[in-house]
Each structure stands twice: as C-alpha cells, then as structure tokens.
Amino acid sequence: MQISEVGRRKVSEKGWVVIPRELRQRYGLERGTPVRFVDYGGVLSIVPIPEDPIKFGQGLFRGAKLTERLLEERKEDKKREGDR
C-alpha cells in the first residue's frame, strides 16, 4: 500500500470537501458515486461502495489457501499450548 498526500483542502461551512481530480480519476469517483466514511480512530477514510458488492468480492481471496493457513496456525497453537 502506497501512502501519498495529494494536497490539502479545507472543509467548507456546509461540511463539503473537494476531492482532488487525480484521486477522483484514480478511484472512479464521479458525481453520484456512493461512498462510505470509515473512522479508523484518528484516520478518516472515504471508501467507494461498489455497485454490486457480491460481484466485486468474487475471487478476492482466490489462491490464498485460507483453509490450509488456518489449519497450520491451529497446529502451531496446539504445539505452543503443549509446551506450557
């Protein structure tokens, strides 16, 4: 993940903030694009909401072998518990 600052903005009296063109283009933000605000405890994020969240998530973890990783972690946990 690359973190970069793309300028500073001020919040208007109405609470509006202009998102820089570069970021709007990069993230496909157009007029009417639904977004979610996420508070990470000191960091506020604006997250675009996909039109079809189910379709967006399909294949997200493809190739991650999550089951195998979970089973390996469980084996390691049991081993640590046995060492006590």
Q: What pLDDT was estimated at residue 39?
A: 96
Q: Where are the chain's structural domains?
A: 21-82
Calculate ∠ Cα 49-41-46, nearest 5°: 25
DSSP 31: T
Rounded to whole angstroms, what are the CA distances from 22 to 4, 48, 55, 78?
12, 15, 26, 50
* Angstrom distance (rounded) from CA 39 to CA 58: 26
Per-residue pLDDT tens digits for 12-29: 999 999 999 999 999 889
CA atoms within 13 A on the CB side of 72: 5
Q: Give pTM, 2 decimals.
A: 0.55
Per-residue pLDDT tens digits for 19-72: 999 999 998 899 999 999 999 999 999 999 888 777 767 777 777 788 888 899
